[in-house]
Amino acid sequence: KQVLLKEHLMSGNPKDSNMCVSTSKIKLKLPRGFTGVLLKNLYLSCDPYMAARMKKLDASSSYALDMYRPGQPISGYGVSKVLDSGHPKFAKGDLVWGFTGWEEYSVITATESLIKIQHTDVPLSYYTGILGMNGMTAYAGFYEVCSPKPGEKVFVSAAAGAIGQLVGQFAKLSGCYVVGTAGSKKKVDLLKNKFGFDEAFNYKEETDLVVALKRYFPEGIDIYFESVGGKMLDAVLLNMRFKGRIAACGMISQFDGSQTAGVQNLMYMIGNRVRMEGFIVADHFHLYPKFLDLVISYIKQGKLTYVEDIAEGLDNAPKALVGLFSGRNIGKQLVLVSKE
Ligand code: NDP
């Protein structure tokens, strides 16, 4: 069973109808001399950048380089078991995470993205998120880009999602005051009562985001972890403190093209000497071993909480991916393909 790109995404946010589920036959044995691996996919990660790969664009207009092709399975991060290997680094039975297909079984030739899973005393699904690309994004963006100091005031958007929930908790572990925003009451409750944010608010219920931010940050924001862009970014720019830092991680509200003209307050960065820095997680993977040690020890000590939203089966995968753009997910969205 595979999830194929049915047709390119021409405008707006992705829809289920851009994808379809189909079946084809695969030999569960690699041909002799083949140097890749045959994987059984267990968990697949749903990530906003995947929608950009559905567009019919030249790759230079997106940070997601490999565009999906109609009729071909889409791909992304996943957790898989090696069923057969022609590669000296991998053996039958190994568990790995990295790039794989949205399908039950994948033959992977580009094995450089695959990382062998050594710690199996945590849920395997965690390698689609907190111990995988999302965790690394939160870690690199917060610690490397924002250089937090105890006592600083931190604001996180898309705070109840895969990355936001971790950034908020990293901020608390660094001795910061942290406020998150999300799009429902249930998510706001989670932020305050499960992830330990000092404050949280539902941005959809605010008539004036500038006023809302002033309520939680009367002296201004030192660090903004940016995942949504548009009107939120504009409101934040009016609330940044002297020498504040903005980690530009993502701008999901601008994906459909509706808010691109919305950011008008960039000039306020000048007087306040605000630094805004875009970053891509791929540039920080040399930190993965250090990150993994830290985060696994935090999980085992109960210092980090993690919420997943698990869609069951490939048939439900398109809907799960599309749901990221309406905020349907609560926590990290992933797909369970097979438990073993
Ligand atoms: P999430 O799990 O946070 O899911 C996306 C969330 O975005 C939704 O749940 C929704 O939450 C919110 N959202 C959707 N549409 C809007 C909108 N129009 N306005 C405001 N909020 C919206 O996703 P991730 O944690 O995986 O990703 C967060 C961001 O990080 C994304 O922008 C992504 O592109 C970016 N990213 C960047 C990377 C990098 O290397 N720079 C790597 C990975 C991700 P709500 O209900 O709160 O609205």
- For the domain that residue 240 is a member of, what is the CATH number? 3.40.50.720
List CB contacts of 327: < 8 A, sequence separation 6 or more. Answer: 182, 183, 184, 187
* Cβ–ligand 1 contact at 164 (below 6 Å): yes
Residues 253 and 230: beta-carbon distance below 8 Å = yes
Cα torsion through 19, 135, 251, 11, rounded to 10: -10
CA torsion, ordered 86, 90, 93, 98, to nearest 10 deg: -110
Which mutation among 47, 165, 252 tests ligand 1's pocket best, with the greatest number of atoms within 8 A of CB? Answer: 252
Helix (H) or strand (E) holding 212: helix 209-216
Mean local confidence (pLDDT), 81-90 = 97
* 291-317 residue pLDDT tens: 999 999 999 999 999 999 999 999 999
Query: CB of 134 closer than 6 A to ligand 1?
Result: yes
Any domain includes 75: yes
Q: Mutate which of 144, 163, 179, 263 to test ligand 1's pocket (most atoms within 8 Å of Cβ)? A: 163
Residue 200 lies in a domain: yes
pLDDT the model gives residue 61: 55
Task: Supply the range of the domain harboring residue 155.
Answer: 133-282
pLDDT of residue 210: 97
Distance from the alpha carbon of residue 180 to the mean position of ligand 1, in angstroms: 13
How much is the average pLDDT of 46-75?
82
Assess whether 159 and 252 both reside in one domain.
yes
Same domain? 37 vs 98: yes
Residue 278 is predicted with a pLDDT of: 98
* Domain co-membership, 9 together with 141: no
Measured in angstroms, how far is the CA atom of residue 255 from the centroid of ligand 1? 10
132, pLDDT greater than 60: yes
Query: Using one digit for the tens of pLDDT, what is the confidence trace for 138-156?
Result: 999 999 999 999 999 999 9
Ligand 1: distance of its center to the CA of 48 in Å? 6
**21-59 pLDDT tens trace:** 999 999 999 999 999 999 999 999 999 999 999 998 665
Pocket lining: 161 vs ligand 1, CB cutoff 6 Å: yes
What's the mean pLDDT in 201-226? 98
Q: Clarify whether residues 274 and 318 are in a common domain.
A: no
Rounded distance, CA 235 to CA 114, Å? 40
Tell me the pLDDT tens digit for each residue of 161-204: 999 999 999 999 999 999 999 999 999 999 999 999 999 999 99
Which H or E element spans position 241? strand 240-248
- 310 within 8 A of 141, measured Cβ to Cβ: no
By 3-state DSSP, what share of the chain in percent is helix, strand and coil, each rounded to 5?
A: 30, 25, 40
State which ligand 1 atom lies nearest to the alpha carbon of 280.
40
Residue-by-residue DSSP string for 34-51: --SEEEEEEEEE--THHH
pLDDT of residue 247: 98
DSSP 95-142: EEEEEEESBSEEEES-GGG-EE----SS-GGGGGTTTSHHHHHHHIII
Residue 286 · residue 309 · CB < 8 Å = no
pLDDT of residue 260: 61
Which pLDDT does position 261 carry in this prediction?
A: 61
| Residue 15 shares a structural domain with residue 77 | yes
183 lines ligand 1 (CB under 6 A): yes
Ligand 1 within 6 A of CB of 158: yes
Tell me how far the alpha carbon of residue 17 lies from the centroid of ligand 1, in angstroms: 21
- Which of 111, 129, 100 lies closest to 36 in space, CA to CA? 111
Asked whether residue 278 falls in the same domain as residue 194, the answer is: yes
169 and 115 belong to one structural domain: no
Q: Is the CB of 279 under 6 A from ligand 1?
A: yes
Instruction: Answer whether 249 contacts ligand 1 (Cβ < 6 A).
Output: yes
Q: Above pLDDT 90, what percent of the chain?
A: 92
User: CB of 228 closer than 6 A to ligand 1?
Assistant: yes
Specify whether 209 is located in the same domain as 238: yes
Position 258 scores a pLDDT of 74
Considering the chain, what is the average pLDDT of its residues? Answer: 95
User: Does the pLDDT at position 60 exceed 80?
Assistant: no
SS3 62: coil
**What confidence score (pLDDT) does residue 160 get?**
98
Written as six digits, the tokens of 64 are 């997601």
For ligand 1, is residue 252 a contact (CB within 6 Å)? yes
Q: How far, in Å, from the CA of 277 to the mean position of ligand 1?
A: 17
Ligand 1 center to residue 3 CA distance, Å? 22
DSSP string, 178-204: EEEEESSHHHHHHHHHTS--SEEEEGG
Q: What is the pTM of this model?
A: 0.96
Query: What's residue 263's pLDDT?
Result: 83
Of 193 and 110, the one with more pLDDT: 193
Residues 235-294: tens digit of each pLDDT: 999 999 999 999 999 999 998 887 666 689 999 999 999 999 999 999 999 999 999 999
Give the pLDDT of residue 66. 84
Same domain, 33 and 94: yes
Report how far apart the first and last C-alpha atoms of the chain are (Å, whole number).
Answer: 16
Residue 276 and residue 141 share a domain: yes
Residues 6 or more apart from 92 whose CB is under 8 A from it? 82, 83, 84, 85
318: left (phi over 0), alpha (psi -120 to 50) or beta: alpha
What is the sign of the dihedral through the CA atoms of 166, 172, 176 and 177?
A: positive
Considering its fold, how many domains does the chain have in total? 2
Question: Cα(252) to centroid of ligand 1, in Å?
Answer: 5
Question: Residue 249's closest CA among 277, 223, 285, 282?
Answer: 277
Q: Which of 146, 227, 277 to mutate to test the pocket of ligand 1 (most atoms within 8 A of CB)?
A: 227
